[in-house]
Amino acid sequence: QVQLVESGGGLVQTGGSLRLSCAASGGIFSNYAVGWFRQAPGKQREFVAAVTRGGVSTYYADSVKGRFAISRDYAENAVYLRMNRLKPEDTAVYYCANVLAGTSVTEVAGWRYWGQGTQVTVSS
C-alpha cells in the first residue's frame, strides 16, 4: 500500500510560482510512474503532468506546457511539480497519483493510489 502526501500549495498572485511536493511511503514509489492532476470546483479532475518511473520521459497537459515542470528525487522518494507563471485558471486542488495501471497517463481511472490533495489558489 502506497501513501502519498502532497504539500506546497497556497495562495499566490498571477505570474507567481509554487513548487508542489508529493512524498511517498509504504511502497516502492520509485518503481512506478507518478502523475499530477488537479480539480477545480465544479469540474472534473484533469491531468496536469506525469513522469515515468525512470524519470526519462515527462508528459504535460497543453494548458501547462512550458510553465510547469515535473521532476523526481529518488533519494528523497518524492516527486515535485514546479509551477511558474501561474494564472487564475490554475486554481484547483492538486493531487499526485502513483502506480499507473492503465495505458494512458492522462486518464484518472488508470492510477491506483492518490494523495489527499493540496490547494493552489491564484489571485488575479
| 67 in Cβ contact with 60 (< 8 Å) | no
At 38, phi and psi to the nearest 5? -145, 155
Per-residue pLDDT tens over the stretch 23-67: 988 777 778 899 999 999 999 999 999 999 888 899 999 999 999
For residue 57, give the 3-state DSSP assignment. Answer: coil
* DSSP-derived 3-state class of residue 27: coil
User: Minimal CA–CA distance to 84: which of 14, 10, 17?
Assistant: 17
Average pLDDT, the chain: 93
What does each C-alpha distance from 69 to 36, 44, 63 come to in angstroms? Answer: 11, 22, 12
pLDDT at 116 over 90: yes
Q: Are 115 and 4 in contact, with CB atoms under 8 Å apart?
A: yes
Query: Would you state the pLDDT for residue 63?
Result: 98
SS3 55: coil
pLDDT at residue 120 in the model: 98
pLDDT beyond 90 at 81: yes
23-32, 62-71, 92-101, 110-119: which has the minimum mean pLDDT? 23-32
Per-residue model confidence (pLDDT) at position 101: 83
